Structure 1
């Protein structure tokens, strides 16, 4: 038996490292995309739009600032073209809108660590024939 980690575990490890870059004090989410040869093509995390410097006190009110946050999956998809990525790993299950976006980008497999109960991702994945699977440490 090999000690080598699987491709989903590899992608998840990259997503977990990417999450460490998030500025969000409430929820740090990372994501990684691999192409059809299992090569890393992008990593991203949830946060503010590139170049935006949050004013003093911005992070204090989660509800107020939430509408300005870009989800890790959206940031990730901005880094490649439709059809280039096969696998996406996210540290948290994609929300409904992010799962829809991953479908639009032609993602075939989505792996996640933490369950997000408010998401319709399982139903969306099943409908579109996308593998959605939890990867635990």
Structure 2
């Protein structure tokens, strides 16, 4: 017997998880995926450093010190499409306040995430702008989590 077809949020979340595997951050791996108005994949991204920057191995030892240099998965994702091109995004962690503001500026109307980020104002921002912000925990790869150190 075949398994039921994945919902669009489950599909997008699975893609976001695969993207997170590319993150160079040894402590926090976040991935994101964007789908257009026909539910076609238009971009995937992950958190990391600016393209072409090759840090010394010591860079990764100072977790607190390196955080300000890390580009969030959602920001990297938005750099890959134009405003209005994406209907929805999925990200492995609820967007932080700044990323949520950026997603709203890009006209995203549906945002799905797996992990809650309690320091974020994303729920309040989503409510104000009429954006669907929904947790999705049941999708392929949901049992394959990268342990945090």
TM-score scaled by structure 2?
0.90
Q: Within 5 A, what are the aligned runs for 1:10-89?
A: 10-89=11-90
SS in 1 for 2:90: strand
Q: Deviations over 1:93-137 (max 9, x none)?
A: 000000000000000100000000000000000000000000012
Q: Within 5 A, what are the aligned runs for 1:113-124?
A: 113-124=114-125
TM-superposed deviation, 1:55: 1.4
CA–CA separation in structure 2 for the residues paired with 1:19 and 1:56: 21
CA–CA separation in structure 1 for the residues paired with 2:81 and 2:51: 16
SS in 2 for 1:57: helix
CA–CA separation in structure 1 for the residues paired with 2:59 and 2:110: 35
Q: CA RMSD in A?
A: 1.1
Q: Which runs of 4+ in 1 moved over 2 A?
A: none
TM-superposed deviation, 1:56: 2.4
TM-superposed deviation, 1:6: 0.1
CA–CA separation in structure 2 for the residues paired with 1:2 and 1:15: 21
CA–CA separation in structure 2 for the residues paired with 1:32 and 1:45: 9
TM-superposed deviation, 1:2: 6.3
SS in 1 for 2:34: strand
TM-score scaled by structure 1?
0.98
CA–CA separation in structure 2 for the residues paired with 1:46 and 1:4: 29
Q: Where do 5+ consecutive residues of structure 1 fail to align?
A: none
